[in-house]
């Protein structure tokens, strides 16, 4: 079959469109909070197009984003903004994701966002934890409804 017209391509693309559009709508309707950060676009590639990859596993998406956001916020709080703090933030995020077995490559951008944006601890909850949770729940429901393999609750401890 021609890869360009593969039904799965449309299903994955539409799912990403729908999820990011909802987050963007929430982002535009809530002046006090940010719901959308660029790394979430890359997370959608994994949960929609590489949905069977361990890197797309819900625990990796959720905890990978939180851990890496924490890394950026912590490094910024201690060292402020510099070329070294950016590198240290990303390096710490990778170390912690590997140590906790929650590797999620898109989350590696969170320390850069946190340090460039001079973010504090609230950044970890909103948009990072809230957005990552939304993406995970969306991916579970969307993939289940369309009978695509993704995640079942019995797999959560793996």
Does 69 reside within a domain?
A: yes
What's the total number of domains in the chain? 1
Burial class (CB in 10 A: 0-12, 13-18, 19+), 78: exposed
Cα-Cα-Cα-Cα dihedral sign, residues 47, 50, 53, 54: negative
Coarse DSSP helix, strand, coil percentages of the chain, rounded to the nearest 5 percent: 75, 0, 25
Torsion over CA: 18, 23, 26, 31 (sign): negative
Task: Show pLDDT as tens, one digit a residue, over the chain (158 residues).
Answer: 577 788 999 999 999 999 999 999 998 887 767 889 999 999 999 999 999 999 999 999 999 999 999 999 999 999 999 999 999 999 999 999 999 999 999 999 999 999 999 999 999 999 999 999 999 999 999 999 998 888 765 555 55
pLDDT at 73: 98
The verdict on residue 72 lying in a domain is yes
First to last CA, the chain: 34
Residue 73 lies in a domain: yes
Using CA atoms of 18, 51, 152, 127 in order, give the dihedral in degrees to the nearest 10: -50
Q: Which domain holds residue 88?
A: 7-153
C-beta of residue 119 within 8 angstroms of C-beta of residue 68 = no
**Per-residue confidence (pLDDT) for residue 6, from 0 to 100:** 86
| Position 22 in a domain | yes
On the CB side of 8, CA atoms within 13 Å amount to 13
Structure confidence at residue 63 (pLDDT): 98
- Residue 156: the pLDDT is 55
| Nearest CA-CA partner of 135 in 26, 4, 32 | 26
CA distance 93 to 109: 9
Residue 158 falls within a domain, yes or no? Answer: no
Residue 29, domain member (yes or no): yes
Does the residue 68 lie in any domain? yes
What's the pLDDT score for residue 150?
A: 87
Please give the structure tokens belonging to residue 95. Answer: 């170390």
pLDDT computed for residue 64 by the predictor? 98
Looking at residue 115, what is its pLDDT?
Answer: 98
| Domain assignment of residue 2, yes or no | no
Of 110, 25, 99, give the one whose Cα is nearest residue 66: 110
What pLDDT sits at residue 104? 98
């Amino acid at each position: 079959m021609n890869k360009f017209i593969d039904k799965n391509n449309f299903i994955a693309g539409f799912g990403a469109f729908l999820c990011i559009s909802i987050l963007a709508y929430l982002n535009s309707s809530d002046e006090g909070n940010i719901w959308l950060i660029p790394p979430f676009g890359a997370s959608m590639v994994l949960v929609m197009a590489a949905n069977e990859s361990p890197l797309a596993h819900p625990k990796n998406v959720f905890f990978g984003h939180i851990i890496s956001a924490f890394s950026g916020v912590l490094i910024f709080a201690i060292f402020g903004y510099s070329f070294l703090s950016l590198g240290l933030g990303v390096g710490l995020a990778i170390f912690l994701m590997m140590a906790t077995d929650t590797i999620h490559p898109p989350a590696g951008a969170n320390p850069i966002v946190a340090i460039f944006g001079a973010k504090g601890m609230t950044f970890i909850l909103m948009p990072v934890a809230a957005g990552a949770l939304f993406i995970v729940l969306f991916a579970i429901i969307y993939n289940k409804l369309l009978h695509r393999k993704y995640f079942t609750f019995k797999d959560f401890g793996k």
